[in-house]
Amino acid sequence: MAAWGETSEEEEDSQEEEIVEALITRSESKSDLESIENLSQLKDKVRGLRKAKVEKLLFTVMDECETITAENCMLKDVCFELKNDVRMLERKKIELEHVNEILKCEKLKAEEKALPYQHKRGSV
């Protein structure tokens, strides 16, 4: 029998199986039928691991998730800023189009005023 704080190989195996079953149950509830093959492969791989290895992998995955979450937050901030920039540029575009229309009208008026002078010069 194992001393306090130590676990036998059978106890470790049963703990590993519990972890694997918990992971698979969690994954199955979120996945479709196509991922059953992947879950079976995962179960087979994890069965051979010791509890410490499983814990290490879980902590690694948790760290990666934290990193991805932080990157996601930064990307959301960048997207928010870009959306604001796009809105500002759209407003400026509308303003410039309006100014352009005004200038076209002024140009036409100036050409109309200049037209009688050109006819007088040409007929003289």
Convert the pLDDT of each residue in 16-56 to its tens digit: 677 767 666 655 555 555 566 677 777 776 676 677 777 88
- Return the closest-CA partner of residue 20 out of 62, 61, 48, 56: 48
Higher per-residue confidence, 10 vs 3? 10
Angle between helices 9-30 and 36-47 (to 10 degrees): 160
Q: What is the pTM of this model?
A: 0.44
Q: What is the pLDDT of residue 68?
A: 95
Q: Indicate the average pLDDT of the chain.
A: 79
